[in-house]
């Protein structure tokens, strides 16, 4: 089969690599891609926000399957535009992608499906937001209702900071809403389920590091690193979340007449009162995908095609490698605020020589002189596998030491605590 991947991050680089390893996949293209993806697949320019352009590209390339990475494309209707042209698509319709596009909508479906989540209030003005904050108390959790690339959430003990964030969300657009919710304690887990709208197949769990600095300090980002498996997680976590969270959501979306086909990402908190959903995303997570796919032994093209064509129940169970994986994101100067671009990147080839290491590109480009340069906030996702998390972690940081990018920064504590126990 021929596959077109939409997107330009390290998540898409990982997807392209895994698809190329499936012997039933004869060709992989990517749009718009990045400098690393261009090294392994044909890339084409496309506006990720233009569903018709994505549909036309898929038609022109005569592909059998389109895999859509970014939430902005899904929320804009890219999957609908592809399916309208009779091409199989891995990714939800615009209507189903509202599970990520609107936190208020997601809360409503969770209530219908009886899925455990934080108590929340949807607020339309600052007086309502202020009252909701007092109802739940500190720490305050204030969320922009719409898409904000992982940066729309503020969790703080500082009431003024919480109110300031609410005000800035309201000022983003007329009619903007803010969700205020109770604080969930406990470790976070990202669990992905692949679904054809009826059957859901859970993947292995991963943990993401959302804050920009070591020790979970600083503002939230798109994600600074991840690892899998989670040696500390309860044994029945995956089966339990599949049964009590993922399957009920898939059933609720189908019953509403907006079946969810693609990847349903549950962001979970394992609280002292049980597992709670923090959020749903409508696509592969970044950087969790880099570590989850590094461990997946089953052929990815076949799995995604089965989901896109309603045949997941016919697939054999997924197979996993007995390896651990760690990814560490190298971010540009001043990420997540206003990242600087155009800086030269050195050492990627040497880093790729480290055993088990795969340097996945995110915001990279080639300048007119033919040199590799930074082109986004998250620049590289240095991914490594090993027998244990400790080895994978050592390899990832060993590879990072060989890479230079002026002004860049990365977290030094990705998987540090978990690797001590497994």
Site for ligand AMP, rule CB under 6 A: 118, 141, 143, 150, 153, 155, 181, 183-184, 188, 210, 220, 267, 278-279
Q: How far is the CB of 334 from ligand AMP (least distance, A)?
A: 21
Q: How far is the CB of 148 from ligand GLY (least distance, A)?
A: 10
Among ligand GLY, ligand AMP, none, residue 286 binds (CB under 5-8 Å by kind): ligand GLY
Among ligand GLY, ligand AMP, none, residue 223 binds (CB under 5-8 Å by kind): ligand GLY
Distances (CA, A) of 330 to 119, 176, 233, 307: 35, 33, 27, 33
Task: Count the neighbouring beta carbons within 10 Å of the beta carbon of residue 334.
Answer: 12
Among ligand AMP, ligand GLY, none, residue 37 binds (CB under 5-8 Å by kind): none
Q: How far is the CB of 240 from ligand GLY (least distance, A)?
A: 21
Give the residue with the Cβ less far from ligand GLY, 55 or 210: 210
Give the residue with the Cβ less far from ligand GLY, 107 or 132: 107
Cβ neighbours of residue 288 closer than 8 Å, sequence gap 6 or more? 190, 192, 206, 207, 208, 223, 226, 228
Give the residue with the Cβ less far from ligand AMP, 56 or 188: 188
Q: Cα–Cα distance between 205 and 19 in angstroms, integer?
A: 20
Q: How far is the CB of 290 from ligand GLY (least distance, A)?
A: 10
Among ligand AMP, ligand GLY, none, residue 285 binds (CB under 5-8 Å by kind): ligand GLY
Q: Exposed/middle/buried for 52, CB within 10 Å: 0-12, 13-18, 19+?
A: middle
Q: How far is the CB of 418 from ligand AMP (least distance, A)?
A: 16
Binding residues for ligand GLY, rule: CB under 6 A, are: 150, 208, 223, 281, 285-286, 288
Give the residue with the Cβ less far from ligand AMP, 210 or 378: 210
Among ligand GLY, ligand AMP, none, residue 133 binds (CB under 5-8 Å by kind): none
Q: Cα–Cα distance between 48 and 255 in angstroms, integer?
A: 29
Give the residue with the Cβ less far from ligand GLY, 295 or 372: 295
Among ligand AMP, ligand GLY, none, residue 54 binds (CB under 5-8 Å by kind): none
Among ligand AMP, ligand GLY, none, residue 188 binds (CB under 5-8 Å by kind): ligand AMP
- The two tokens of residue 394 are 């050592």
Contact at 8 Å (CB) between 122 and 106? no
Q: How far is the CB of 335 from ligand AMP (least distance, A)?
A: 16
Give the residue with the Cβ less far from ligand AMP, 37 or 291: 291
Give the residue with the Cβ less far from ligand AMP, 192 or 397: 192
Q: How far is the CB of 404 from ligand GLY (least distance, A)?
A: 26
Give the residue with the Cβ less far from ligand GLY, 193 or 223: 223
């Amino acid at each position: 089969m021929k596959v077109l991947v939409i997107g330009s991050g390290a998540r898409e680089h990982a997807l392209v690599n895994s698809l190329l390893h499936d012997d039933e996949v004869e060709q992989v293209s990517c749009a718009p891609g990045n400098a690393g993806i261009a090294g392994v697949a044909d890339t084409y320019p496309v506006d990720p926000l233009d569903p018709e352009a994505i549909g036309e590209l898929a038609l022109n390339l005569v592909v059998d399957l389109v895999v859509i990475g970014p939430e902005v494309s899904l929320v804009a209707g890219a999957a609908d535009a592809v399916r309208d042209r009779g091409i199989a698509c891995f990714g939800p319709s615009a209507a189903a992608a509202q599970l990520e596009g609107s936190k208020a909508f997601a809360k409503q479906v969770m209530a219908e499906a009886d899925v455990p989540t934080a108590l929340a209030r949807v607020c339309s003005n600052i007086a309502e937001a202020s009252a909701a904050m007092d109802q739940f108390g500190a720490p305050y959790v204030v969320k922009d209702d719409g898409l904000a690339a992982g940066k729309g959430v503020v969790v703080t003990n500082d009431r003024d900071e919480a109110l300031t964030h609410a005000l800035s969300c309201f000022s983003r657009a007329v009619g903007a809403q803010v969700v205020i919710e109770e604080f969930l304690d406990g470790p976070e887990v990202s669990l992905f389920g692949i679904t054809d709208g009826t059957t859901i197949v859970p993947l292995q769990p991963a943990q993401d590091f959302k804050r920009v600095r070591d020790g979970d300090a600083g503002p939230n980002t798109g994600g600074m690193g991840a690892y899998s498996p989670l040696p500390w997680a309860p044994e029945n976590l995956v089966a339990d979340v599949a049964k009590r969270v993922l399957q009920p959501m898939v059933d609720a979306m189908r019953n509403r007449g907006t079946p969810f086909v693609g990847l349903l990402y549950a962001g979970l908190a394992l609280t002292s009162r049980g597992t709670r959903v923090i959020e749903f995303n409508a696509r592969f997570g970044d950087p969790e995908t880099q570590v989850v796919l590094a461990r997946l032994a089953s052929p990815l093209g076949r799995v995604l095609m089965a989901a896109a064509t309603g045949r997941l129940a016919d697939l054999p169970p997924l197979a996993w490698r007995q390896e651990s994986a760690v990814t560490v994101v190298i971010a540009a100067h001043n990420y997540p605020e206003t990242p600087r671009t155009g800086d030269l990147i050195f050492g990627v080839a040497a880093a790729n020589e480290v055993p088990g290491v795969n340097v996945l590109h995110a915001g990279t480009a080639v300048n007119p002189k033919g040199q590799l340069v930074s082109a986004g906030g998250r620049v590289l996702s240095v991914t490594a596998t090993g027998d244990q998390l400790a080895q994978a972690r050592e390899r990832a940081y060993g590879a990072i030491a060989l890479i230079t990018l002026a002004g860049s920064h990365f977290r030094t504590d990705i998987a540090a605590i978990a690797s001590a126990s497994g």
